[in-house]
Amino acid sequence: MDQSQHFVAMYLLMLSLGLIIEEGLCQHYYLLRPIPSDSLPLVELKEDPDPVFDPKERDLNETELKSVLGDFDSRLMSITPPQDKYTGNDELDDLDIQQKPSGVMPNEIKAMDFDVQFGKKHRPSKKLKRRLQQWLWSFSFCPVIYTWNDLGNRFWPRYVRVGNCQSKRSCSVPEGMFCKPANSTHFTILRWRCIQKKGGLKCTWIPVQYPMITECKCVCSN
């Protein structure tokens, strides 16, 4: 057991003792965190599977579609299947390869004090306190995990990169809080839409707003 694992074990012990005493921890944290939004993302379209409603080769002229779309962001969109080594990788949530938090440490972690109880009670050194805060920050940090989605041939471009929040483990100690979407943005893609008219089937590309999660937060799961 190296030193940092030792600190973590000790800290977990302190917290589990703390939990027995202090109930309703999640309510406490709730005050410190933004209210979660469960309305992200979404889009489940009911489509007629009949290939007559699919775009044909002539409807897929890249030059033309790019000019209809206007802004083609190749970080978010792809016409061909993208090579993404992280797609479907269950190990993303593994602590060992957890992404590092960046920016300024949240105030509620910076303000956190630790009582270390080992025989005699004493306050941890500045260095130990800093390490515990750093560890807690990494643990409760909720990165946005980006993966490519195949939207099918009625969207152009059909591959889009979307953000998700990791959901495999709790982001709090003790357990109870989870990473949830906290902010989102939209980008425009094209959708193939057919309407039955007097003269027959009329199909065209229409612009649609596609939502993307841009931020995840550690919040209570209710």
Contact residues toward ligand NAG (CB under 6 A) are: 61, 63-64, 183, 185, 214
Q: Is the CB of 117 or the CB of 185 nearer to ligand NAG?
A: 185
The closest alpha carbon to 140, from 114, 112, 175, belongs to 175
Which alpha helices (H) appear in the chain, and where do they start and end? 3-21, 25-30, 62-69, 107-110, 126-140
**Least gap, CB of 63 to ligand NAG (angstroms):** 4
Q: Is the CB of 59 or the CB of 93 nearer to ligand NAG?
A: 59
**Least gap, CB of 203 to ligand NAG (angstroms):** 17
**Least gap, CB of 65 to ligand NAG (angstroms):** 9
State the Cα–Cα distance between residues 72 and 207, nearest whole angstrom: 13
Give how far Cα 137 sits from Cα of 106, 134, 208, 217, Å. Answer: 8, 5, 37, 12
- In DSSP terms, which residues pair with 59 in a beta bridge? none
Q: Is the CB of 173 or the CB of 220 nearer to ligand NAG?
A: 220
**Least gap, CB of 58 to ligand NAG (angstroms):** 7
Cβ(118)–Cβ(17) under 8 Å?
Answer: no
Q: Is the CB of 132 or the CB of 143 nearer to ligand NAG?
A: 143
Looking at residue 48, the DSSP 8-state letter turns out to be -
**Least gap, CB of 64 to ligand NAG (angstroms):** 5
State the Cα–Cα distance between residues 171 and 3, nearest whole angstrom: 22
State the Cα–Cα distance between residues 75 and 185, nearest whole angstrom: 15
Q: Is the CB of 147 or the CB of 183 nearer to ligand NAG?
A: 183
